[in-house]
Amino acid sequence: MWVPQLNAFNQPVYLSIADALERDIASGQLKPGERLPTLRELAQGLQVTPGTVSRAYGEAQRRGLLQGEVGRGTYVRATPRAEPPAPESLVRPASLSAEPRVLDLSIIKPAGDTASTWLRGALVELANGTDFAQSLDYAPDGGHPAHREAGAQWLRHSLPEATWQQVVITAGAQHGLLVAISALTESNDLILCESLCYPGIISLAHSLQRRLRGVEMDEEGIIPASLRELCQRERPAMLVCVATCQNPTTATMSHRRRAEIAAIAEEFDFLILDDDIYGFLAADTTLRPLASYAPERSVYLTSLSKSVLPALRIGYLYSPPRLLSRLTAMVRSSVWMPSPLTAQLASNIIAQGLDQRLVQLQRDEAAKRQALARELLPGLKIKAEPHSYHLWLELPEPWSADEFATLARAQGVKVLSGSQFQAQRSGGSRGVRVVLMSPTREDELRFALTQLASLVGVADPRRFY
C-alpha cells in the first residue's frame, strides 16, 4: 500500500499528503492508473482521520492528479489535466500555511450586503440625533420606555395589540431564551421542545440544569398527540417552540396546529416560550404567533438579528404582566442591561420604517436562493419554505448525516449534521441543514450546492473510505 513520506510540517496535513501524491506521481513511484488506498486504509497508515485523507484526495483531484470511479475507488489519472476551476474565492492561497476557504452553509443569517448600505446612514443619524446622549447612559429595568415602544412597534406586525409596558429588551434572541428559561423555570424542571431543535436550546437547558425532552414531529412541527401523551406521563414547566420556519426542519404550524398546542398548554398548565425569530419569513402572512392563542401563559420572543443584521444584538420579550418582574430581574442579573446604544440604533431603524424595507429585501433574496436550490438539487428530498433562509436535506441510504457533513467539509462546503439538533441523542440522523443566505455571492452558493448534489449522488459512500 502506498504510504506517503510527509516532509512539510508548516502546513495542514491534507496539503502535505496532496504534495506527496504530486511528488510521487512526478517521480514515477505512482504509475498512471494505479489504485490508491481507501480513505480508511491510508488514515490508519498515517494515524489521521478519514476526513483528512478525503480532503487530501479532493485537493489532488483539483490539481488534476487523481480520478474517482464509483464503486471502484480512486486512481492516478492516466493523463493529468486540470479540473474545472472553483470560484476565485476558493482557490488555495499562495501561502502554504493558510487554509483554503470553506464555504460556510452552517450559520443562519440575513444577506449582509443588502443591509450594510442602509445601516451606514442609520449610524450617522444615530450620532447626530437628539437621543444620542441618552443612549450613552444607564437604562432603567426593562429598557428605556422609548426603546420598548420601538420594540412594541416591531411586535405589532405579529401582535397588533402589543403595548410597550409588556416589552422587555434583551441582548439578542439567545439572551432572551436564557432570561425566559432562567426566570420562569427552576433547576431540574422539565422543558419540552421539538425533537430536532436549535442547538442553543440544548446547551442552555444543560447549562441551567433543566431536563430537556424532545417531542415527536411531523411536517408541521410538534405533533399534538405526542405532546399530550408526554404531558400525561410527566409534568413539564415550559414548552420552547419555533412555530414558523422551524430550525432546522423549516416546519411551519398551521392555524389549527397552533390552537391545538395552546389548548394542551392550558390543559396541563405549562408555559409556552414562543421563539418567533423567523416569523417574518412566513409564506402565509395571515398566521398568528403561537403566543396569541394562549396569551396569559405565553412569552413571545423575537429579535432583529435575523431580519436586519447579526451584529444588531437586540431582542424583545413580550410577556403577560404577571411575569414581567421576573424577566426584568433576570435581565439585570445576567447582563445588567442590554446596550442602550444598540437599542437606540434599533429604535431609529424601526421608527424610520427601515426594518420593513429590509425584511422585504431579505424575503426576496431568500426566495431567489430557494429557487436556485430547487434548480441545483433536483430529485433530492428537501424541506423548505418559499422564503426561509435554509433547507432540510434528507439523505438517501446508506448515508448518515455525520458522514455526509464530514465529507462535504472535505470538499469545501460546511453544513450541519442533523445529529447536532437532536434534543436527545437517540441513534443516527439522515438529515442535514443547508443554509442558503451565508455565501455572499451567487456563484459561491451555486458551487457549494453543486458539490452537495454531487456528493449525494454517490450511491455508495463507503468508496470514500
Per-residue pLDDT for the chain (465 aa), expressed as one digit of tens each? 888 887 655 667 888 888 889 888 888 888 888 889 888 888 888 888 877 888 888 888 878 888 876 556 788 887 544 444 555 555 444 444 445 578 999 999 888 665 666 677 777 888 887 778 778 888 888 899 999 999 999 999 999 999 999 999 999 999 999 999 999 999 999 999 999 999 999 999 999 999 999 999 999 999 999 999 999 999 999 999 999 999 999 999 999 999 999 999 999 999 999 999 999 999 998 999 999 999 999 999 999 988 888 888 999 999 999 999 999 999 999 999 999 999 999 998 898 888 888 899 899 999 999 999 999 999 899 999 999 999 999 999 888 899 899 889 888 899 999 999 999 877 678 899 999 998 778 889 999 999 899 888 755 555 554
Sequence-ordered list of residues with C-beta below 8 angstroms from that of 189, at least 6 positions apart, any chain: 210, 211, 236, 237, 238
- Alpha-carbon distance of 158 to 160, in angstroms, equals 6
Nearest to 277, CA basis, from 302, 298, 253, 311: 302
Q: So what's the pLDDT on residue 16?
A: 85
- Alpha-carbon distance of 414 to 104, in angstroms, equals 5
Give the residue range(s) of CATH 3.40.640.10 domains in the chain. 114-355
Domain at 103-112+356-463, CATH homologous superfamily: Aspartate Aminotransferase, domain 1 (3.90.1150.10)
β-sheet with 271-275: strand ranges across: 167-170, 315-318, 298-303, 271-275, 238-241, 190-194, 211-215
The CATH number given to 114-355 is 3.40.640.10
What CATH number matches the domain at 13-76, 3.40.109.10, 3.40.50.2000, 1.10.10.10, 1.10.760.10?
Answer: 1.10.10.10
Q: So what's the pLDDT on residue 242?
A: 97
Rounded to two decimals, what is the model's pTM?
Answer: 0.78
Give the residue range(s) of CATH 3.90.1150.10 domains in the chain. 103-112+356-463
- Alpha-carbon distance of 53 to 59, in angstroms, equals 10
CB-based burial of residue 463 (10 Å sphere; 0-12 exposed, 13-18 middle, 19+ buried)?
A: middle
Give the residue range(s) of CATH 1.10.10.10 domains in the chain. 13-76
Pair 320, 273: CB distance under 8 Å: no
Q: So what's the pLDDT on residue 82?
A: 42
- Alpha-carbon distance of 243 to 141, in angstroms, equals 29
The sign of the dihedral angle between the CA atoms of 325, 327, 332, 336 is: negative
What is the separation of C-alpha 312 from the centre of its chain, rounded to a whole number of angstroms?
17
- List 193's β-bridge partners, or say none: 214
Q: So what's the pLDDT on residue 289?
A: 97
